[in-house]
Amino acid sequence: MAPKAMSDIKFFNVTFPAPFVAHVEINRPQKLNAFYEPMWLELKTIFEKLSPDPDVRCILISGAGDRAFTAGLDVQEASKSGSPLGTAAPTRDPSRQATSLRRHIFELQDVISAVARCEKPTIALLHGYTFGLGIDLSSACDIRFAESDTKFSVKEVDIGLAADVGTLSRLPKVVGGITSWVKEVTLTARPFTAEEALQNRFVSRVVKGKANLISEGLEYAKFVASKSPVAVQGTKNILDAAWGRTVEDNLNYTAAWNAAMVQSSDVSRAMLSGLQKRTPTFEKL
Q: Using CB under 8 A, which residues numbered 231 to 250 contact its own copies?
A: 231-250
Burial (Cβ within 10 Å: 0-12, 13-18, ≥19) of residue 284: exposed
Query: Which lies closer to its own copies via its Cβ, residue 38 or residue 177?
Result: 177
The single residue among 19, 178, 195, 212 that binds its own copies, judged by CB under 8 A, is 178
* Stretch touching its own copies by CB under 8 A, among 15-23, 37-45, 209-217, 265-273: 265-273
* Max CA separation in the chain (angstroms): 74
CA separation, residue 264 to residues 90, 238, 250 (Å): 59, 17, 21
Based on the shown chain and the rule CB under 8 A, indicate whether residue 81 belongs to the binding site for its own copies. Answer: no
Based on the shown chain and the rule CB under 8 A, indicate whether residue 270 belongs to the binding site for its own copies. Answer: yes
CA separation, residue 97 to residues 90, 92, 107 (Å): 9, 6, 16
CB of 9 to its own copies, least distance (A): 23
Q: Using CB under 8 A, which residues numbered 185 to 214 contact its own copies?
A: 186-190, 200-204
Query: Which lies closer to its own copies via its Cβ, residue 10 or residue 276?
Result: 276
- The full length of the chain comes to 285
CB of 2 to its own copies, least distance (A): 20
Burial (Cβ within 10 Å: 0-12, 13-18, ≥19) of residue 191: middle
The single residue among 158, 191, 193, 216 that binds its own copies, judged by CB under 8 A, is 158
Query: Which lies closer to its own copies via its Cβ, residue 27 or residue 200?
Result: 200
Burial 13-26 (b: 16+ CB within 10 A, else e): ebeeebebbbbbbb
Based on the shown chain and the rule CB under 8 A, indicate whether residue 160 belongs to the binding site for its own copies. Answer: yes
CB of 121 to its own copies, least distance (A): 5
Query: Which lies closer to its own copies via its Cβ, residue 175 or residue 218?
Result: 175
- Alpha-carbon gap, residue 48 to 116, rounded angstroms: 11
